[in-house]
Amino acid sequence: AQSVTQLGSHVSVSEGALVLLRCNYSSSVPPYLFWYVQYPNQGLQLLLKYTSAATLVKGINGFEAEFKKSETSFHLTKPSAHMRDAAEYFCAVTRNSGNTPLVFGKGTRLSVIA
Amino acid sequence: EPEVTQTPSHQVTQMGQEVILRCVPISNHLYFYWYRQILGQKVEFLVSFYNNEISEKSEIFDDQFSVERPDGSNFTLKIRSTKLEDSAMYFCASSEARTGTDTQYFGPGTRLTVL
């Protein structure tokens, strides 16, 4: 079985500060990992994904995440937060085989303070 | 940019009533999914669909749920007899192919409220 744990249901940062959203995974097979963002009243939008290539993955809007097998982590970072980054962020994992249901974490709400 | 659309955005129904949630996946996508998110909880997988049949379903997807692709564009989720605990946000998603590397594109969701 696969699962992800997102540490911190709510993270608050100042505008211009580093954003760090934590995700740890559990998987019995090599995982594929994703970060999705949900802005208010919108669907889930893919930020980035890890598919067993480079361990440092760059995504949209200046976000990146690093796959660390030894730590079973896939934390999301952004060097400088913008007000528009305020949203709900979801980490997800799936198997690297045919059926691909995504298993999501509980989400982390990011607030950006001016 | 192509996107997944869902209607209605909000559905209110009485317990025991049937509801149909509609989705229009991205046109060249072949795989379709339904997920749901009960308020304050995780987004959970319900069912995946390919080539006019269910590929995989979760424990949540019991006999009161069904999915259908009635025509070339729509993908529907039917709940036959709604329960209070069915109140949730329901997300439709679609992807081009069936491997773990392919992105699932999500719609904006339908908020279902069962009274």
Residue of A nearest to B108 (CA): A43
Taking alpha carbons only, the member of A79, A89, A86 closest to residue A112 is A86
Lowest mean pLDDT among A71-75, A98-102, B80-84, B91-95: A98-102
Q: Residues 6 or more apart from B17 whose CB is under 8 A from it?
A: B81, B82
Confidence at residue B99, expressed as pLDDT on a 0 to 100 scale = 62
> Band of the pLDDT at B100, cuts 50, 70, 90?
low
| Two tokens, residue B102 | 């392919």
Of A43, A46, A96, the CB nearest to B109: A43
What does the mean pLDDT of chain A come to? 91
Confidence at residue A82, expressed as pLDDT on a 0 to 100 scale = 96
Tens of pLDDT along A40-61? Answer: 878 899 999 998 778 999 999 9
Residue of B nearest to A95 (CA): B100
Decide if A91 contacts A77 (C-beta within 8 A). no
Calculate what percentage of chain B has a pLDDT beyond 70.
Answer: 97
Q: Find tokens 């993270």 and name the residue.
A: A11
User: Does residue A60 belong to the interface with chain B, where contact is any CB pair within 8 Å?
Assistant: no
Q: Residues 6 or more apart from B24 whose CB is under 8 A from it?
A: B4, B5, B6, B73, B74, B75
